[in-house]
Amino acid sequence: MAEDKSNVITINGKEHDMTTFSDEQKGIINQIRLCQSKSASIKSELNIVEVSMEAYTNALIKSVEEVKVDEAS
């Protein structure tokens, strides 16, 4: 039978059974998980902003180049 790893956490390369942790330690783990989730969310939002910024920059460049072409005609 496979060992249940749902309550096992690895810290500095050593596996620990979380059922033996104090309430404070479990709370810290929950805070770490919340921080990891928030970090992933912020990275995703940043990616959206960076893609948008690139699109706006490209639109500006195209617009400026079109004006220069019109002025040269």
Query: Which residue shows structure tokens 């902003």?
Result: 49
pLDDT for 3 = 62
pLDDT for 72 = 74
The whole-angstrom separation of Cα 69 and Cα 48 is 32
CB contact at 8 A, 18 and 26: yes
The tens digit of pLDDT for each residue in 42-69 reads 999 999 999 999 999 999 999 998 877 7
What is the number of helices (H) and of strands (E) in the chain?
A: 1, 2
The tens digit of pLDDT for each residue in 9-47 reads 999 999 999 999 999 999 999 999 999 999 999 999 999
pLDDT for 1 = 47
The pTM assigned to this predicted structure is 0.69
CA–CA distances in Å: residue 8 to residues 12, 46, 57: 13, 32, 47
